[in-house]
Structure 1
Amino acid sequence: MNKKDSIKACGRTINYEIVYSKKRNKASIVISPDLKVEFRAPHGISSETIRKMVSEKAEWIQKKLEWFEVNRLPDHKKQYCEGEIYLYLGREYPLKIIAFDDVKEPIVSVKDSELNFVVPKKDSEDTLPLLIKKAVWNFYSKRAEEEVEKVLKVYSKKLGIAPPTFKVKHQKRRWGSCSADNVLRINFQLVMAPPEQLEYVVVHELCHVIEKNHSARFWKLVKQMMPDYEEYRKSLKKEGWKYML
């Protein structure tokens, strides 16, 4: 279970969240552009030990927080309004809202270099953003399922295994995961990324069906499946902040 704690250091209060993981072998501190500080820890480390480790890294944490404060990205949460730009498979599409009398349910589609949202004329402007959000999320989820399924078919065959069960989900902290019983979970917002980045995440999690940790054998297997994976891994780290709904 995750826990929240804080220390006073470098003239400020550093708030951080302790995120425990059974798969993790060693601890690390991760600072996000939204100024969140996470202490990612294997099970068994006490809160007191973690607090000491955070104190020892306080100066480094302070510098990272200051850098993000100066270079902070604007709020990229979607407003779901006409003309807003949406990414789909690495390309930008402006949102176009079209109202028809004979439409019963909202429909989202990519057409003519636009993300078209067809809505019944009877819907009020006050409820429109919520309707658009729901329809857009459903659209991205379905497209993500299709893309993930295609990648899994190709690479499962290369690995010589049956395509595992998978689910596309909205995940705040990760692009993908592989459970102990080999169920893959892929963040549906990856369908906003260029296909190669989505492909890398799926290949990464698929390789966990064979190798459960991030050992040298695991990375060797990923490279065998996708020789250029490092390029897409780096670009996803650099550009992943864009893939937000």
Structure 2
Amino acid sequence: MGQHSLPGNPPVPLQMRTSARARRITLRISSLDGTVTLTRPRGVSERAALDFARDKEAWLRGHLANQEDAVSVGLGVRLPIEGLARRVEAGQGRRVRLDGDRVLVPGPEERVAARLLGFLKTHARSRLAEASDRYSARLGRGYARLTLRDTRSRWGSCTADGGLMYSWRLILAPPEVLEYVAAHEVAHLQEMNHSAAFWALVTQLYGPYQAQRRWLHREGAALHRIRFT
């Protein structure tokens, strides 16, 4: 991946990558850290890709200017956990605890973000495993494994051999959103597509899902702006 930039005040750093799958030049702005990735198909020159970026400079700078600042987790910061804004405060004992609109994190201040991240991943696995077990039982199909990642482009996926993958950041969203994503991915155990039959199956497993899907489209990017490092 090459390092380039658009000149100006300030310059816009670009990460240029070449993709054998790409059919056209694309620009993508990461909602997590604002990184701009310029992707060109194999066979397209760097100059052509940079010309494309220059043509889109006004659009690019506008989106970067409108992007909200990242939130660095630490004592006193409020962040959503299961959809409820909770203030991070120092705790006692050895375990992270949820206490109403607070999350209590014991230990030295410099370890707060790391300890909270570990707690959230464990909490996410528990909630997602419970939901996946419940929906797969309704479907009558088991899944092979469950893994958590910090994916930017999708909230979940299902492999052909029955593996379920979820973003651990779903634990930050309201519980009904996490439940919808679990039902969505479990439905793929039977329907590996997004056909009318698939969406009917999601409705059968979960119920009306449109509000939860809209929430992810509207609010999901903000969850990726929460940083634990």
Shared fold by TM > 0.5? Answer: yes
Match of 1:46 among 15, 35, 42: 42
Inter-partner Cα distance in structure 1 for 2:62 and 2:168? 30
Look up the match of 2:29. 31
Look up the match of 1:62. 57
Which structure has more RCO (C-alpha within 8 Å, separation ≥ 6)? Answer: 2
Inter-partner Cα distance in structure 2 for 1:65 and 1:242? 19
Residue 129 to residue 230, structure 1, CA distance change in 2 (3 Å): same
TM-score by length of 2: 0.75
**Which residue type is aligned with residue 110 of structure 1?**
L
Look up the match of 2:89. 96
- Whether 1:171 aligns to 2:155 is no
**Which residue type is aligned with residue 42 of structure 2?**
S
Gaps of 5+ in 1: 120-127
Contact 1:17 1:38 in 2 (8 A): yes
Q: State how 1:1-245 maps to structure 2 within 5 Å.
A: 3-4=1-2, 15-18=14-17, 30-33=28-31, 34-38=33-37, 46-48=42-44, 59=55, 61-78=56-73, 80-81=74-75, 83-99=76-92, 103=93, 106-119=94-107, 128-243=108-223, 244=226, 245=228
Inter-partner Cα distance in structure 1 for 2:180 and 2:19? 25
Inter-partner Cα distance in structure 2 for 1:112 and 1:8? 47
- Secondary structure of 1:48's partner? coil
Look up the match of 1:123. none
Gaps of 5+ in 2: none
**Which residue type is aligned with residue 108 of structure 1?**
V
**Which residue type is aligned with residue 90 of structure 1?**
G
Residue 56 of structure 1: how far off its partner (Å): 6.1
| TM-superposition CA deviations, 1:153-177 (whole Å, max 9, x none) | 2211232212442122333443222
Residue 71 of structure 1: how far off its partner (Å): 1.4
Contact 2:20 2:42 in 1 (8 A): no
Residue 71 to residue 200, structure 1, CA distance change in 2 (3 Å): same
Residue 135 of structure 1: how far off its partner (Å): 1.7
Contact 2:25 2:49 in 1 (8 A): no
Matched pairs, number = 223
Residue 96 to residue 156, structure 1, CA distance change in 2 (3 Å): same
Inter-partner Cα distance in structure 1 for 2:39 and 2:186? 23
- Secondary structure of 2:96's partner? strand
Inter-partner Cα distance in structure 2 for 1:130 and 1:181? 41
Residue 14 to residue 143, structure 1, CA distance change in 2 (3 Å): closer
Question: Greater shift after overlay, 172-181 or 49-58?
Answer: 49-58
Residue 26 to residue 145, structure 1, CA distance change in 2 (3 Å): farther
Residue 37 to residue 234, structure 1, CA distance change in 2 (3 Å): farther
Contact 1:21 1:40 in 2 (8 A): no
